[in-house]
Structure formats: structure tokens, C-alpha cells
Amino acid sequence: MEMTLDGKTILVTGAARRVGRMLALACAQAGADVVLHYGNSGPEAASVQKEIRAVGRQAWLLPSDLSNPESASSLIQQTRQFSPILHGLVNSAAIFEPLTFQATTLQAWESHLSINLTAPFLLSQAFATQLPEGETGRIVNILDWRALRPGTDHFPYTISKAALAAMTKSLAAALAPRIKVNGLALGAILPPADDPSAEERVIRQVPAGRWAGAGEVEQALLFLLAGPAYITGEIIHIDGGRHLV
Ligand SMILES: NC(=O)c1ccc[n+]([C@@H]2O[C@H](COP(=O)([O-])OP(=O)(O)OC[C@H]3O[C@@H](n4cnc5c(N)ncnc54)[C@H](OP(=O)(O)O)[C@@H]3O)[C@@H](O)[C@H]2O)c1
């Protein structure tokens, strides 16, 4: 089966850097035009736009602060200036703070929930609303292995991703049959930008014994965006077995 995104327009949130950038480029390489959402990383987003244009696809920049529910609510509507329809939504933007339960302030709790959970909720709702009768769409939520195996580290982040995993399944049922909703539960893809020492430490807990290759993440995304349409409500771990140990 050939997996192509030719003729599709996809919105990727947090697309300027790191994993989001990887996902946006994967969409373009598979033939999609891409709306690149970003928060503060304008220059990096412009550079991704250039890379996408170089492979012959269209790319548009869309800044927005997803901690603000009004901005999140209006984001999909704003994509209309670029493309009349969005066929795909990849919810990747997130925050990830190393907080224990006791160290989590109400403010940290609320930021994690608003960016990592409320924004995908509002975006999914607007995405479903904009999809015209007769069109089909796909939503991919970027999760974490911790979502289905919550521990004690990164407490508000883990809870937000666990709720996003639950929302993935709930929306898969609510939006069937027109919109497929799936999740990618990532593991060791890229070390946290603010903790390069994690590179070695993290790997000791990964059965695969290595970090993921970019191509592996890209293939998994493409499978959920362009693969079998009978798959919905699924959460694929791409974590080298981290959730098993
Ligand atoms: N890296 C990994 O190995 C790994 C492992 C498991 C799961 N994940 C998941 O994969 C996704 C991407 O991970 P990452 O490591 O690339 O994350 P990251 O480096 O922290 O980047 C996340 C992006 O989210 C955007 N963002 C954060 N707060 C925002 C806000 N208020 N408004 C708008 N945008 C906002 C940022 O955009 P700007 O830079 O433009 O502000 C940033 O580029 C996340 O969902 C994460 O949970 C990653």
C-alpha cells in the first residue's frame, strides 16, 4: 500500500523545532502542504518553511500562544487564509517540566493542562467543524510512553498526556466514521533541550538500547496519517520498549 499525503493540507502544532519539525517535514516529504504552527520560535519556523518549499510543497506560518484558549480556538479558522480545508491535525506542541507531585504549583498544573490538553481539545473540535460533508480527516495526538504508565516524574506533564490518551480514544468514537483519531506514544526521541546529560541516563532504561531514528518516527506518523483507515482510537508506542520495563 502506497502511503501518500498528496493533495492534503495538515496542521502541525509546535512545528518549528525538534520533534514537531521532524513531523512537519515528514508530512511534506509524503506530499502534504503544511501549516506550521509555532509559539516563540519564529526564525526556526521560517527555516522549516524554507525546507518544505525546497521539496516542492507549500508551507505557511501560523504563530499562536496555545496557553490562551481563545488563541487555540481561533487557530483552525485562521488556516482558511492558506487552504480551504484541513485534512489532518497533528497535536505536538507541549510543555514538559520535571516536577514531582509535591512540587507542582497550581500555575504549573494549569499551564500543562492548557497547552498539552485543552489546546488539542479545542483544535480537535474546530478541526471537526471545518471538515466539509463528504471529506475525511485524521488527527494524531503526540503522546508519551508515560501516558499509559504514569509514574512519579514530570507529574503535571504525565497527567496531561494520560488525559490526552483518554481523549484520543473518546474522540475516535465521537468523530467516527469521518475522522480517525490516533496517538503516537513517544519514548527516547530527542534528549530534553535543557538537559543534555539525559542522553546517556535515559538510554539505560530503554530495552532497544538506543534513541529512535528520525525515520522511525516519520514512518509511524505517516502510517497514522495515510495508512489503513480502519485504524482509529489506537495508540502506537514508538519508544524502543520503554513502557514495558
Ligand atoms: N523529545 C522526545 O524525546 C519526546 C518524548 C516523548 C514525547 N514527546 C512529545 O513530542 C512532542 C514534541 O516534543 P519536543 O521534545 O520536540 O518538545 P519541545 O522541544 O519542548 O517543543 C515543544 C514545542 O511546543 C511549542 N509550545 C510549547 N508551549 C507553547 C505555547 N504556549 N504556545 C505555542 N506553542 C507552544 C513550542 O513552540 P515554540 O518553540 O515555537 O515556542 C515548542 O517548539 C511533545 O508533545 C512531547 O510531549 C517528545
Question: Please, which pLDDT band fits residue 6 given cuts at 50, 70 and 90?
Answer: very high
Say if residue 63 is preceded by a cis peptide, omega within 30 of 0: no
Answer yes or no: is 165 within a domain: yes
User: What are the pLDDT digits (tens) for 88-130?
Assistant: 999 999 999 999 999 999 999 999 999 999 999 999 999 999 9
CB of 19 shorter than 6 A to ligand 1: yes
| Pocket probe mutation, ligand 1, options 11, 12, 17, max atoms within 8 Å of Cβ | 17
Percentage, residues of the chain above pLDDT 90: 94
Average pLDDT value for the chain? 97
In 3D, which of 194, 191, 216 has the Cα closest to residue 203?
A: 191
Q: Which residue's alpha carbon is nearest to atom 13 within ligand 1?
A: 19
Q: Which pLDDT belongs to residue 124?
A: 98
Answer yes or no: is 2 within a domain: no
Answer yes or no: is 16 within a domain: yes
Answer yes or no: is 203 within a domain: yes
Q: Which residue's alpha carbon is nearest to atom 45 within ligand 1?
A: 92
Q: Which pLDDT belongs to residue 192?
A: 83
For the chain, how many structural domains are there in total? Answer: 1
CA–CA gap between residue 120 and residue 106 (Å, rounded): 20
Centre of ligand 1 from the C-alpha of residue 222, in Å: 19
CB of 41 shorter than 6 A to ligand 1: yes
Q: Which pLDDT belongs to residue 137?
A: 98
Q: Which pLDDT belongs to residue 2?
A: 79
Known catalytic residues? 157
Mean pLDDT of 152-178: 98
Question: Please, which pLDDT band fits residue 168 given cuts at 50, 70 and 90?
Answer: very high
CB of 190 shorter than 6 A to ligand 1: yes
Nearest-atom number in ligand 1 for the CA of 19 is 16
Q: What order do you get walking across the sheet with 59-63 strand by strand?
A: 59-63, 33-38, 9-12, 88-91, 137-144, 179-186, 235-238
User: What are the pLDDT digits (tens) for 37-87?
Assistant: 999 999 999 999 999 999 999 999 999 999 999 999 999 999 999 999 999
pLDDT of residue 1 exceeding 80: no
Answer yes or no: is 1 within a domain: no
Mean pLDDT of 15-26: 98
Q: In CATH, what number is assigned to the domain containing residue 28?
A: 3.40.50.720
CA–CA gap between residue 57 and residue 4 (Å, rounded): 13
Answer yes or no: is 175 within a domain: yes
pLDDT of residue 199 exceeding 90: no
> What pairing do the DSSP bridges indicate for beta strands 9-12 and 235-238?
unpaired
Buried b (16+ CB within 10 A) or exposed e, 130-169: bbeeeeebbbbbbbbbbbbbeeeebbbbbbbbbbbbebbb
| 185: three-class secondary structure by DSSP | strand
Mean pLDDT of 1-20: 95
Q: Which pLDDT belongs to residue 171?
A: 98
Answer yes or no: is 67 within a domain: yes
Domain extent at residue 83:
9-244
CB of 39 shorter than 6 A to ligand 1: yes
| Pocket probe mutation, ligand 1, options 11, 49, 92, max atoms within 8 Å of Cβ | 92
Percentage, residues of the chain above pLDDT 70: 100
Answer yes or no: is 157 within a domain: yes
Mean pLDDT of 198-224: 95
